[in-house]
Chains A and B, each alone.
Chain A
Amino acid sequence: MLKYVIKRLVLMIFTFFIIIMMTFILVHMLPREMPLEKNLQAIIQARWEALGYNKPILTQFGIYLKNIFTKWDFGTSWYISPQKGAWEVLENGFLPTLLVNLYSMLVSVPVGIMLGVYAAIRKNKWDDSLISTLVMVFISVPSYVYAFLVQYFLYFKLGWLPLTMYSLADAGGSYFTWKMFTSMIPAILALSFGSIAHYTRFVRAELTESLTSEYMLLARTKGLTRPQATARHALKNAMVPILPSILSEFINLLAGSLIIEQIFSIPGVGQLYIKSLTLFDYDVFMIDCVFYTFIGLLAGIVLDLSYTFIDPRIRMGER
């Protein structure tokens, strides 16, 4: 088991390293422009000199890695927040992204599981077909359409909620104020519709499968009532694939949703990606790429490994 985990981790680091190297080379092949201001020019020149920008690109990559390992220095932001470290800039984006997505998950996981369980129990009845049809629609409709609908009804028609998320200054300097929370609700809602549908479908599929298994028959035969058997046996077994997927979803949500963050102007990781791209802030762009790659790989490995921890019957290394 330990051997398998180590093998996966080594492979992940290897993959990560290769992807980062390719990204680094491609990003550093882009033409770089100097700002017009003389002072800033001198500072940037000096900084680039230190990072070896006139040396071959692989040497630059070496310096980049060395700086990360020795000083945790991912480069400098020149435009988004001038002369701050790229890591610092990214760090500032974590909290808003995490909060919005976490709130959305707190809504969608319970609701999705409940709907899914209900649909599976009422399989092939009218309410199941209603739920399944709605799930199909909600899974297919793109998330930005929900964003527009939420904005239209909750802001323009009813005026209950703000159009976009408040800036930190407007909401009293903290992401945990009530005012900030209300301004996050539109984004949370927009994210939740699709997620709820996703979980409902997943839970329904898994639970219908376990409800028709033979151990359910056994459970009923030995005298358990239907709800007892469903809750203790079927649901427990259905959760085996669902829990890992929630876990990996949780890691994935750290990367945020580009489009939702853009529409609701959430100052998170996703918006940072677009911003760094449009402002040509390459060091920030690079760290965002590193972060995205890392999150993606981590989510995959957690998905695989968590299966084994949740259900020991699944053998290591078997797919």
Chain B
Amino acid sequence: MANMNQKSISPEKFEFVNMNTRLTDVKFDDKPIGYFKDAWIRFRKSKAAVVATGIIILIFLFSLTAPLFTRNEATFMDTYYAKKGPYINGLREIGIADGSVRRDFSEMGLIAKIAIGMGAEDWEGTGKVTLEQGMESEYQPIRKVSDPFIQMDAAKREKKYYHGRIDAYAEVGFIYKSIEQPELQRMLDWEKETGLHLLYPLIEDNEWNPEPKSANYWFKCKKYQPVFVSEDGKTKNVVYKPGMTLDDNYKRDADGNAIKWEYTGGGSFETAHIKVRVLYRNYYIYQNNFEPEYIFGTDSQGYDLMLRLAGGLRLSLLLAVSVSVINFIIGAFYGSIEGFYGGLVDLLMERLSDILSGVPFIIVATLFQIHLATKVGAVPCLIFAYVLNGWIGIAYRVRTQFYRFKKQEFVLAAKTLGARDMRLIWKHIFPNSLGTIVTSTALIIPSVIFTESMLSYLGIVKLGSATTTSLGTLLADASAIWTNYPHLMILPALFISLLMISFNLFGNGLRDAFNPSLRNVED
């Protein structure tokens, strides 16, 4: 019936909707979303992955820009300031990063440390400096002392002890230096110029000096017990109390003035060796023209730990990224050829990768290091070891993808249109496997970082030198002493853990983004 009605409509009633303009396909307003864009949108949605990427970028920037935050040179090593904690000048005054450590002191131990500050105030060598003056000195290592408490010592005698905090940098105190005449002149000029005191009176090497090699016992001691010595040679123990003074043991000339330098041997005026006693902090400033400042402290050898860490991170990242790129390339080629040609080629190549994958990584790394490290360097050796069978996983994935796609219609169509093998492989089939292999390539990075730190920790790979280091080497250096110097272990361990977590999250984010069907399916 409806048809009948339609037929009865007269032609005049019809009119054209559009006669004036030509209608063409309208261009899309927004850009088409391709495979990678789609993945990127999904990746952005995963908060953990985005945060992890941010952390990775921050760590990467830190490893590159760390030298800008400090005036220290990466190759500068200061053995006196080794194993010290973080020391930042701006924060030091308010008690953060002041390089101080908690320690318990016996009474004589406490006096010996306080004496460093007292001695630093007494550049003239008068010996008339009190405890209060010494405590106010900026060179005073003791930052806090508790009230005494009584405890049994090893010989079961009751002894007084003090809890305290000590500035590990100021604790270095004084050192002896053997210098030549021009150097001495420079030091004297420098003292005048800056108003800081560098040269301090020398100490007599007599029965009252318990440790002639140390420049810190400037006061009279009887077997480390600070004493007053009267004219007739009788001794009286020094007691730690307000207003305490110490009996100085300075070298004096006939007039009773303290001697600050002494000729110790050597030829002419120019080359003669002169022994001086310098305050180390000022000596550091004299040498470097800036105050000591170590944001992360110093490592076990006396390098700036921040620069060492940045160097280690750089090495780890460089290694990890180059290994994954090389593995990606080899795996892509190998897997493509295997998967595309199949048959005998596939069988032979599979056997080869079967054999290679059986080789334990640790043995490869070891043998490469022994044989080649001296010829091509430790890092390239390590890369070889990683690459030897690291690409097999990627090749296997590519091969699987090729088997999935090579029989599909679009490939057949391309083939019919005359595409060559290479074009089929790279233009038509390979891009389909890109998602999976990008993910597995990204997940190579954390495992490389971990194994590298493990190998260098165990000493199988030796990466520590004046210019380069690795996180594992830093940890290995710290492993014997870290309970006394926790920052040596905590900082590298923290960075490496952070890096591992971030890269794993990043990899998982990539996987979820490229293969949404695999979301939440781990392993």
Contacts and interface: CB of A to CB of B under 8 A. Distances in A.
A274 B358 contact: no
Given A258-B458, A300-B358, A137 B522 contact: no
Given A19-B355, A27-B367, A297-B358, A144 B522 contact: no
B390 to A, nearest CB: 15
A30 interface: yes
Interface string B134-176: 0000000000000000000000000000000000000000000
A145 B479 contact: no
A277 interface: yes
Contacts of A58: none
A202 B521 contact: no
Interface string A250-282: 000000001100110000000001100110000
A165 to B, nearest CB: 16
A4 to B, nearest CB: 15
A142 interface: yes
A29 B368 CA distance: 12
Classify the interface of chain A: helix, strand, loop or mixed: helix
Interface string A27-62: 101100000000000000000000000000000000
Contacts of A23: 363, 367
A152 B458 contact: no
B522 A204 contact: yes
A11 interface: yes
Interface in A163-200: none
A140 B500 contact: yes
A274 B458 CA distance: 7
Given A140-B446, A141-B500, A274-B459, A292 B370 contact: no
Nearest to A295: B360
B359 A293 contact: yes
A258 B362 contact: yes
A164 to B, nearest CB: 12
B355 A144 contact: no
Classify the interface of chain B: helix, strand, loop or mixed: helix
> Max chain A CB contacts within 10 Å: which of B360, B450, B454?
B360
Given A23-B363, A140-B446, A202-B522, A259 B493 contact: no
B489 A148 contact: yes
A92 to B, nearest CB: 20
Given A26-B367, A30-B370, A144 B483 contact: no
Contacts of B354: 11, 15
Nearest to A200: B522
- A interface, size bucket: 35 or more
A131 interface: no
Nearest to B358: A15
Interface string B345-385: 00000010011001110110011001100000000000000
B185 interface: no
Contacts of B508: 136
B398 interface: no
Contact of B520 (A137, A151, A208, A273): A208
B483 A142 contact: no
Interface in B429-464: 446, 450, 453-454, 457-460
B489 A259 contact: no
A219 interface: no
A139 interface: yes
Given A15-B355, A204-B522, A293-B359, A145 B497 contact: yes
Interface residues of B, number: 40
A286 B28 CA distance: 67
A141 B501 contact: yes
Nearest to A152: B483
Contacts of A14: 355
A293 B367 CA distance: 14
B482 interface: yes
B523 interface: yes
A296 B360 contact: yes
A205 B479 CA distance: 37
A209 interface: yes
A16 B479 CA distance: 36
Contact of B366 (A151, A277, A296): A277
B203 interface: no
Contacts of A247: none
Given A140-B504, A144-B457, A289 B363 contact: yes
Interface string A195-219: 0000001101100110000000000
Contacts of A18: 355
Contact of B458 (A137, A139, A262, A292): A262
Nearest to A23: B363
Contacts of A139: 504
> Max chain A CB contacts within 10 Å: which of B366, B475, B496, B503?
B366
A309 interface: no
30 contacts: A15-B354, A15-B355, A16-B358, A19-B358, A22-B359, A27-B367, A136-B501, A136-B505, A140-B500, A140-B504, A141-B501, A142-B453, A142-B493, A142-B496, A152-B483, A201-B523, A202-B522, A205-B522, A209-B521, A258-B362, A258-B458, A259-B457, A262-B457, A274-B459, A278-B459, A289-B360, A289-B363, A292-B363, A293-B360, A293-B363
Interface of A: 11-12, 14-16, 18-19, 22-23, 26-27, 29-30, 136-137, 139-142, 144-145, 148, 151-152, 156, 201-202, 204-205, 208-209, 258-259, 262-263, 273-274, 277-278, 289, 292-293, 296-297, 300
Q: What 7 pairs across the A-B complex have the smallest Cβ distances?
A: A140-B501, A140-B500, A205-B522, A15-B358, A141-B497, A140-B504, A292-B360
